[in-house]
Amino acid sequence: MNAEIFAEWFRRQGCSVIRTPSSYWYEAGTRVYQAFPYHWLIEPKERELLNLFRQRHAIGLRYSTPVQSPLGCISYHTIYDKPAYTIDMLDRRSRQNARAGLKKCSVEPISLARLAEEGWSLEVDTADRQGRRLSLSESIWKRRCKAAEDLAGFEAWGALVDGRLVAALLSFQIEDWCELISQQCHRDYLNARVNHALAFTVTQTMVNRPGIRSIFYALHSLDAEQSVDEFKFRMGYIARPVRQRVVFHPWFSTCANRFSHAIVGKLLRRDPSSRTLAKAEGMIRFYLQGKQALADQNWPACMADRKMEVLKAMALNEGGREV
């Protein structure tokens, strides 16, 4: 399984996809391109980025780059990279929740067709519960799921209670990584801890699978509350330090400033469910942060206690270059 298969999945959904020397990119929003696979850390040359702007008439680009890179907002990937995964590796509360969930549901692979048909209601309920506006329709959801049906590496998993699909997860194996692409759960079953059972079973299965070295759970979100990743950390995942770089087209970069950020933030407070405003606020915030020295940036809460450790390690590795 390779990145070209992942690219084909996006193409089948009708997304604009382009390959550049450093990575693949897909149009995640109107004229905004995201690099993928998500776990890749890339350092594209400025000429490569300018060519991408010109070829696709893009407004903005977003990609993950090593924490040692000179530009980019301090960020993280939520990953698991240990050679074993057992229930004892979870924190105390998550161990209890996972055990409870495994008693109340069964976790098993499901067909992508079933995910397409029954997963939509879970996606709708999850978005409503999290207070966000869905960015896709039911038809687009179904096309998204069915686009992966005959592509190697894609798998759908479900948590079932009395035969009913109550939580689901979509994954993709690429080389020695497994990327967890999306996860949904109906609110009526949150107290049954089916999300814990699902995440634990899929993680343990992937860790024990020959050829898989690491699992990528999530990219630090532009707009989600930082608490959304706490679930993953309690399940044994860690925050791997990276930088996320947001780059705007030269014609628009001068418009991305503190003043425009304040305006977008004010509009978002009036309409907090707007995905467009939330992403725009996040893009400008990451862009502005990313131009500062790493030590002067606002570090995510999950990494705040590691700030000095990371900065000292970088200083040793880079011979004292300013970070």
Q: Which residue has the higher pLDDT, 136 or 249?
A: 249
Residue 98: is its pLDDT beyond 50?
A: yes
The proportion of the chain whose per-residue pLDDT surpasses 70, expressed as a percent, equals 98
DSSP letters, 143-154, are HHHHTTTTSTTE
User: How far is the C-alpha of 85 from the C-alpha of 169, rounded, in Å?
Assistant: 18
Q: Are 156 and 117 in contact (CB under 8 A)?
A: no
pLDDT computed for residue 90 by the predictor = 93
* Total residues found in the chain within this entry: 323
User: How far is the C-alpha of 176 from the C-alpha of 168, rounded, in Å?
Assistant: 23
Q: Cα–Cα distances in Å, from 238 out to 215, 220, 285, 299?
A: 11, 12, 24, 15
User: How far is the C-alpha of 158 from the C-alpha of 111, rounded, in Å?
Assistant: 9
Residue 323: is its pLDDT beyond 70?
A: no
Residue 244: is its pLDDT beyond 60?
A: yes
29 φ, ψ (degrees, to nearest 5): -145, 175
How would residue 62 be classed by pLDDT, with cut points 50, 70 and 90?
A: very high
Neighbours of 298 (CB within 10 A): 11
Among 141, 136, 137, 134, which Cα is nearest to 113's?
141
How would residue 134 be classed by pLDDT, with cut points 50, 70 and 90?
A: confident
The average pLDDT across 98-122 equals: 96
The pair of structure tokens assigned to 276 is 């467009």
pLDDT tens digit string along 181-207?
A: 999 999 999 999 999 999 999 999 999
Give the CATH class of 82-212: alpha beta
DSSP H helical ranges for the chain: 3-12, 46-56, 92-104, 112-129, 138-146, 194-207, 230-234, 250-253, 258-270, 275-290, 307-317
| Model pTM above 0.85 | yes
pLDDT computed for residue 27 by the predictor = 94
pLDDT computed for residue 69 by the predictor = 92
User: How far is the C-alpha of 321 from the C-alpha of 314, rounded, in Å?
Assistant: 8
Beta strands 24-29 and 164-174: pairing type?
unpaired
How would residue 46 be classed by pLDDT, with cut points 50, 70 and 90?
A: very high
The average pLDDT across 126-149 equals: 88
pLDDT tens digit string along 251-299?
A: 888 888 999 999 999 999 999 888 889 899 999 999 999 999 999 999 9
- Which sequence spans correspond to the domains of the chain? 3-73+243-317, 82-212
pLDDT computed for residue 318 by the predictor = 66
How would residue 51 be classed by pLDDT, with cut points 50, 70 and 90?
A: very high
pLDDT computed for residue 285 by the predictor = 93
Residue 85: is its pLDDT beyond 80?
A: yes
Average pLDDT, the chain: 92
DSSP letters, 181-229, are EEEEE-GGGTTTTHHHHHHHHHHHHHHTSTT--EEEEEEPPSSS-GGGG
pLDDT computed for residue 319 by the predictor = 58
Residue 322: is its pLDDT beyond 70?
A: no
User: How far is the C-alpha of 141 from the C-alpha of 13, rounded, in Å?
Assistant: 9
pLDDT tens digit string along 208-236?
A: 999 999 999 999 988 877 777 899 999 99
